[in-house]
Structure 1
Amino acid sequence: MLNALVVYATITGNNEAVADLIIANLQQNNINVTKKEISLCDVQTLLNFDIVVLVPYTYDNGALPEEGLDFYDDLALIKLPDVIYGVTGSGDLFYEDDYCLAVDAFAAALAATGATQGVSNLKLNLYPDDMAKEQIQAFVKQLLVTTTNQ
């Protein structure tokens, strides 16, 4: 059985809702899932999983979540060649050019570890509505396709 880790950061609860939807979709596909809040997750933990999904929020003018800065920095110190990853997050289109920039930053940091990107970054506006739920389902489906083809 494959093991997945879903790591999230949230202020409003939107990203935890996204994380929970990802977890539900993974579990429906018989994946063993662990959920961790980013400040409580050491990057070494990622070595124990086949699939890693990060769900960060973007703060203020494109900033990374403060509670995730150590995690982000520590990604530069690890190699994850056997991990398949995906990055998604909720943001607010109001912020235009700064919309969900943390998603791209964390995806780049994971790519630098040697991990394999299993699915394109997914940026969601605010709390996940029905359309977002369908996008999350497709996100997980593509992630699993990539994982089974490795």
Structure 2
Amino acid sequence: MLTAHIVFATITGNSEEIADILADRLAFRGVAVQETEISQTDAYEFIQSDLLIASIYTYDQGKLPEESLDFCADLQTLKLTNKIYGVTGSGDKYYGQYYNIAVDQFAELFEKLGAQAGTARLKIELEPDEQDIEDLDRFAHNLVWTANNRQK
């Protein structure tokens, strides 16, 4: 059975809601899912899962959330070879060039550490609507498909 660990950081609750939807969509596909708030997550325990997922928001003018910094520092000491990742997040287009940039920063970190993208990055404006929920379902499908069909 595939396992997934979803970490989230949220101020408004939107990124946690995204994580909840993803957890549901992955469980529907038979994946054992763990979901934790990022500041309460041990990076070594996080990477024990097959699918590594982050649901994040962008702080201020393109910064990672403060509560994610220790996790990111710890993650950088680990190798993510043979891991599949997905990154999503909630943002507000009002912030222009900084809109959901933390999604890209997290994806780049996973790639730098050797993980393989299991699906395209998914940027959601504010809280997820019906279309976003469909996109999250496809996001979950793609992660599971990639994990089940990768070359080992």
Same fold (TM over 0.5): yes
| Alignment partner of 1:105 is 2:117 | no
| Per-residue deviation, 1:13 | 0.2
Task: Indicate whether 1:30 and 2:30 are aligned.
Answer: yes
SS in structure 2 of the partner of residue 34 of structure 1: strand
Three-state SS of the structure 1 residue aligned to 2:106 is helix
Structural mapping, 1:1-150, within 5 Å: 1-150=1-150
Deviation at 1:43, TM superposition (A): 1.1
CA distance in 2, matches of 1:113, 1:46: 14
Deviation beyond 6 Å, 4+ runs, structure 1: none
- State, as a whole percentage, how many aligned pairs show the same letter: 43
TM-score (ref. length: structure 2)? 0.96
Q: Distance in 2 between matches of 1:21 and 1:115?
A: 23
**How far did residue 85 of structure 1 move?**
0.4
Q: For 1:73 and 1:121, how far apart are their aligned partners in 2? A: 21
**One-letter identity of the residue aligned with 2:127:** Y
Output the aligned Cα RMSD. Answer: 0.8
Unmatched segments (≥5 aa) in structure 2: none
Count of aligned pairs between the two proteins: 150
